[in-house]
Amino acid sequence: KAGVTQTPRYLIKTRGQQVTLSCSPISGHRSVSWYQQTPGQGLQFLFEYFSETQRNKGNFPGRFSGRQFSNSRSEMNVSTLELGDSALYLCASQSRTSGYTDTQYFGPGTRLTVL
């Protein structure tokens, strides 16, 4: 099976702009979670989507939003970028079909730099 893919791998934006990141989960996985990772804060949970519905949400401002499509692909959008949004954004997919599995499989991440 192909792994989780994220595009683009690198992005440079300026303050005030918006950005959209994309994630394709492992085939057959219906859950996609997004995380922000910074050296100071570690892995911070943004939100989880399952079958096109947001199931869980972390403590991030409304500038951070996401959606999931019928093919389980997901996008994350950040509007009005701030310098502090510079981070590695990780997407993770889970099966969540037969019973409950805690294991998440991560993509390589998108490195966002805000200037």
Partner 1 sequence: TQLLEQSPQFLSIQEGENLTVYCNSSSVFSSLQWYRQEPGEGPVLLVTVVTGGEVKKLKRLTFQFGDARKDSSLHITAAQPGDTGLYLCSGTDSWGKLQFGAGTQVVVTP
Residues that bind partner 1 (CB under 8 A): 4, 6, 33, 42-43, 45, 56, 88, 90, 92, 100, 102-109, 111
Q: Which is nearer to partner 1, 76 or 90 (CB)?
A: 90
Query: From its phi and psi, is residue 42 left (phi > 0), alpha (psi between -120 and 50) or beta?
Result: left
User: Across-strand partners of 42?
Assistant: 38
State the minimum distance, in angstroms, from the CB of residue 72 to partner 1. 18
Strands (E), 51-100: 53-57, 64-68, 74-78, 87-94
Q: Which is nearer to partner 1, 42 or 62 (CB)?
A: 42
State the minimum distance, in angstroms, from the CB of residue 61 to partner 1. 20
Query: Is 21:76 a contact under the CB 8 Å cutoff?
Result: yes
Question: Any idea what the Cα angle at residue 79 is, between residues 60 and 45, rounded to 5°?
Answer: 25
Q: Which is nearer to partner 1, 73 or 79 (CB)?
A: 73
State the minimum distance, in angstroms, from the CB of residue 16 to partner 1. 26
